Amino acid sequence: MNTKSEIIAKIAALKAYSKSQEPETEALFTPLEEAASAYFDGDKGAVSAALEDVIKYMYNDISRRTTIFEHNFDMHLATNYPAGYYDITECFADFSEIMQISNADFYAAFEEGIDEDTGEECIVSNSYIDKWVEDLEEAATEDVNKVQYLAEWCKNSGGSCDVINLLENKGEIVEQLTKDEIVNQIYIETNMLNTIQSLGLTTYIPTYLRG
């Protein structure tokens, strides 16, 4: 997950290059700069809380799926894994196109048109800017919905597990992941830690993972 400073720096680089080619492109960057700042600086309280729910319920989900007993039963665990289950960054804005695009390819996307005020031909838009602004504005409201959906899925993915635990003799535990192994899956393998830190979220980070 990219940080605000990385994204702002990349936008600034694209802006500087474009301005060096054609000074009138400078003004067209304002909506993108504002959208990027709004995305990173907006209230992240709800998404921080939702991520903590993901961590709690995903911990239980992983434990259910990986613990082996003497007597195993088909628990009918859900397998229609939603976005974010293996990579939490899927629930957030994707900056890969912004970060990877070349100056030349970006500049080539500027389009000319007629200024409505002066009637003169000028550069009026850039398809990348239009797309990125739309994506960022959507992500600012949809991130939390995606994270909340993932949390609910993990919470309700147990199938018949609870009933089996109540009614059946599963015997002794034969194999089980340690707490540290599950924490590693959640915080490291799914990019949870990087996302929390990159977005400046208040979601809890275990003391032994804090840099």
CA-to-CA separations, 158 to 86, 108, 154, 161, 183, in angstroms, rounded: 17, 51, 8, 5, 19
**What's residue 191's pLDDT?**
97
Q: What's the domain count of the chain?
A: 1
pTM score, whole prediction: 0.90
**What's residue 193's pLDDT?**
98
**What's residue 159's pLDDT?**
96
| Cα angle 39-96-4, degrees, rounded to a multiple of 5 | 35
Residue pair 19/25 in contact by the 8 Å Cβ criterion? yes
Residues contacting 33, CB < 8 A, separation 6+: 8, 11
**What's residue 85's pLDDT?**
98
**What's residue 93's pLDDT?**
96
Please list the ranges in the chain whose pLDDT falls under 70.
117, 119
**What's residue 122's pLDDT?**
82
**What's residue 120's pLDDT?**
78
- Domain of residue 126: give its range: 4-209
